Amino acid sequence: MGGHLTMQTPKWLFDRLKCVECTGLNFTADADFIRCNICETDYPISNNAILLLKKGVFVDAAEVISKHLNNIDPSAVEKVFATALRYCLKDATLRGEFSGILERYSGVLAAGEGIRSEVRLPQSGSRLKKLTDYFNPVFEAGQDSHRSVRVRNQSDEIIETAGQTPFHLSYWLRTTDGTLIEGVRSRFPIPLHPGHDLTVPLRIAVPSQPGEYEMEVKLVQEFVAWEEQVLVSKRITVKEPGSLRAGLVTPPHNGYYDFKEDIGRSGKVLSDAVNMAFEHLADEGRSVEILEVACGHEPMSLRHYHPNTHVVACDLAFPQVQLGALMFEKINKIAFENSVFIAADMFDLPLRPGSFDVIVISAALHHFADIVEALEIMSSLLRPGGLIVLLREPAKYAPDDPTYISELMNGFNEQQFEIAEYDVMFERSGLKLVYEQLDFECSYKAILRHSGPTNAH
């Protein structure tokens, strides 16, 4: 199914690829795979999408389950999976019991590839270890605000906001004259199991009196004790309430979130960024090279395709990019012919530094455990003057939202942020704002470029 790639052999892609096994830069294409000519690793092509992951991070489920079932024909196993996809029970309440065929073999797949089960961390003096925070220390007086704190449970017990002695995150404020102010409590959105990580939305009731305060964030078990360990220690500045931040564009809306409208507004921001890239390349007369990471099956850069661009659409999920390639071949032939779909790991990308003029990520940045690291990786892939485009990122806390809780329970790394926290992410990543927009009071969009004179790393 590699006809598109084989027939056209896009040199613009080969000029940007690197082998994730050996970092080699020399490739050839066949009908069914791309081969690294240095280490001779073959990367499969299926439905016009390329699997560019290291071999150790995925398994051939049909092969493993075949061995488990007395070495039956792997192609027959594959047909069974296709049948499960074709015939799906309409009653969702029955699906968990009578479908989910691949999930039933999850233990087999793990054991077959020697994947270790979770190892609990030893009990230490404190239950939590802070992993990341994007703590902007400036607040408006008298306003409720939030800051996210990502923690790991390094104890042997479940930490949860339930029962007679629940756990919360909270804080103490100390004024300049030494007065202590006890903060409000923030619940753990889901139970935090030993060895697991979770981003906890910390609610802050900002004092009405402007000034400087010392803040210490700690874990508290109600009716038992505060932990001595300080998770976050900050000097915060409380300022007089002011107007909306300068430069933030807030288009009018009808008072409710409109998904279709938000996609359209995202397309306008993306188009503006691509036009900026064309202006920057005015003297070069070449195509704008776009990378979209975590693209799913409907990359924004192809939904809103801009002529004279080349697009690499990348997602960790191989089926998603295959569906995307199949779909765009039908609905936008020109976009399809100027794009390549790849499955790759954001933190081990098969792409050379300094290869792209525009990098796009839509409604996905907040899923990464370390957002600064993700932004730094994207920045390293930009050419001098290149742009990063963030679309549809959350900018409003709703810690009790049922969808948010449900996705956390289902294993998604859901996180919520305020715009002030994005400022910290950008600063730590060496990026500066070119443009920012907030739609429906919750959907954040931004165009960024490297804050230094070049994008060299």
Kindly report, residue by residue over 164-203, the tens digit of the pLDDT: 999 999 999 999 999 999 999 999 999 999 999 999 999 9
Give CATH 2.60.40.10 domain extents, the chain.
Answer: 128-239
What CATH architecture does domain 128-239 belong to? Answer: Sandwich (2.60)
* Residue ranges, the chain, pLDDT below 50: 1-7, 113-123, 454-457
Q: Residue 386 has what pLDDT?
A: 97
79: its two tokens: 């047909």
pLDDT digits 0-9 by tens, 330-351: 989 899 999 999 999 999 999 9
3-state secondary structure labels for all residues of 72-103:
CCHHHHHHHHHHHHHCCCCCHHHHHHHCCHHH
d(CA 43, CA 64): 19
Q: Residue 84 has what pLDDT?
A: 79
Per DSSP, the residues of 47-78 read TTEEE-S-GGG---HHHHHHHHTTS--HHHHH
**Taking a C-beta distance cutoff of 8 angstroms, is the pair 396, 416 a contact?**
yes
Q: Residue 161 has what pLDDT?
A: 95
204: its two tokens: 């802050």
Give CATH 3.40.50.150 domain extents, the chain.
Answer: 248-450
- Was domain 248-450 assigned CATH 1.10.20.10? no
**Taking a C-beta distance cutoff of 8 angstroms, is the pair 185, 170 a contact?**
yes
Q: Residue 454 has what pLDDT?
A: 46
Q: Residue 367 has what pLDDT?
A: 96
